[in-house]
Amino acid sequence: MGPVLYVPRQNVQTPYVIRKISLKFLLYRLNKETIIYSNKIKYKEKIKQYIELLVKDLEAPIYVLDNSIKILESIDKRKIQGKNPRVVAATIFYLVSNRYGLSYDKENIAKRLNISKLSIRDTAVYLRKICKELR
């Protein structure tokens, strides 16, 4: 076999304007898809979803869910603002289930929501201070 000859490649540069327009188009499409798939959910709605998930996973009675949501609604949003919604949901679920004599382990609850059992303990102290129903 002899030497292989290739057609010389022309160095064609895409004009700067075309590159800029194509980048803008791609970013526009990406942003549009992001807006479609990321619906803004309110903070308390996230907490409700996590409480419902815990009730479903741990097969807790429905009255635990009802009372947890009622207590969540009674807490002022500004008092729990900045706290992880998973931690708040786990803590409310833990405190309400303990009130009814149901024994759910903090560690088991924490594993379900991928949080630390110590964060449940710390948040429980705080929630007992700010909410009369949890005392």
Using an 8 Å Cβ cutoff, are 117 and 107 in contact?
yes
Q: What is the pLDDT of residue 1?
A: 59
Structural domain boundaries in the chain? 43-134
For the domain covering 43-134, report its CATH number.
1.10.472.10
Q: Over the stretch 53-100, which tens digit does the pLDDT of each residue have?
A: 999 999 999 999 999 999 999 999 999 999 999 999 999 999 999 999
Q: Tell which wins on pLDDT, 32 or 65.
A: 65
pLDDT-derived band at 38 (thresholds 50, 70, 90) equals low
State the pTM of this model. Answer: 0.71
- pLDDT of 18 higher than 90: no
Give CA–CA dist 109/91, Å, rounded.
Answer: 9
Collapsing DSSP to helix, strand or coil, 61 comes out as: coil
